[in-house]
Amino acid sequence: DAGVIQSPRHEVTEMGQEVTLRCKPISGHNSLFWYRQTMMRGLELLIYFNNNVPIDDSGMPEDRFSAKMPNASFSTLKIQPSEPRDSAVYFCASSPTGNEQYFGPGTRLTVT
Amino acid sequence: QQQVKQSPQSLIVQKGGISIINCAYENTAFDYFPWYQQFPGKGPALLIAIRPDVSEKKEGRFTISFNKSAKQFSLHIMDSQPGDSATYFCAASPMNTGFQKLVFGTGTRLLVSP
């Protein structure tokens, strides 16, 4: 299995632009998580999907952030408009049970 | 109450030595305690996990020790190797969310010198 796939691996954009991060979970996993990692705040859970349905989005920082999971093999995290403080590494993780979480390689986002 | 406090922030160990990383928690509802290993440029990878019904779990050179009364758990890496150099995160999850909503520690950067 290829593991969790994320794209792009690196994204540099200007403040105010829309950013879309993509994730393909491991086949057969029914739980998907989006995390953000920064030096200041560490690893933070943004949103959790179970069977493609958003279950907990309490970690989404504000309305500029939105996430979708249109099917079991694809999810997006969108930031519109982006701000410099959104610069971070964004991870997608999937799990067959919600217990063991398998992380993707991450997307390093830089907003200038 | 949702925090997991991890120490030390960084650690240098000689090859062959024992690396010890500690974590403490407040929320008594936590019932799942995994450790993740992260190499630069990679995502965290599950290393080993424990539930509070046991006091110790060993997998190869990696051991979790768990003290329920003290609300502490630790990772021991025996015979540490340069390839173990990475950042290690402890985490904890409460039992009442229906899924493992992990709360992560702040991480420990381990360097194993040759």
Residue whose tokens read 């830089």: A110
Is it the case that residue B78 has pLDDT exceeding 90? yes
Beta carbons of A32 and A51 less than 8 angstroms apart:
no
- Measure CB to CB from residue B99 to each of A91, A98, A103 and give the nearest one: A98
Determine the pLDDT at residue A76: 98
Show the tokens assigned to A43: 């690893």
pLDDT tier, B100 (very low <50, low <70, confident <90, very high otherwise): low
Determine the pLDDT at residue B97: 59
Is it the case that residue B98 has pLDDT exceeding 90? no
Residue A105 to residue B99, Cβ atoms within 8 A: no
Mean pLDDT, rounded, of chain A: 94
Strands A10-13, A107-111: parallel, antiparallel or unpaired by DSSP?
parallel
Q: Is B104 on the interface with A (CB under 8 A)?
A: yes
Residue B104 to residue A42, Cβ atoms within 8 A: yes
Q: For residue A92, give the nearest of A34, A42, A37, A47 by alpha carbon.
A: A34
From the CB of residue B92, how many other CB atoms can be counted at a distance below 10 Å?
Answer: 26
pLDDT tier, B99 (very low <50, low <70, confident <90, very high otherwise): low
Query: Mean pLDDT across the stretch B69-91?
Result: 97
Mean pLDDT, rounded, of chain B: 92
Percent of chain B residues past pLDDT 90, beyond the cut: 79
Q: How far apart are CA B84 and CA B104, in angstroms?
A: 20
Q: For residue A104, give the nearest of A29, A2, A36, A6 by alpha carbon.
A: A6
pLDDT tier, B101 (very low <50, low <70, confident <90, very high otherwise): confident
Determine the pLDDT at residue A97: 75
pLDDT along chain A (112 residues), means of 10: 92 97 96 94 92 92 94 97 97 86 96 98
Is it the case that residue B1 has pLDDT exceeding 70? no
Q: How far apart are CA B37 and CA B64, in angstroms?
A: 14
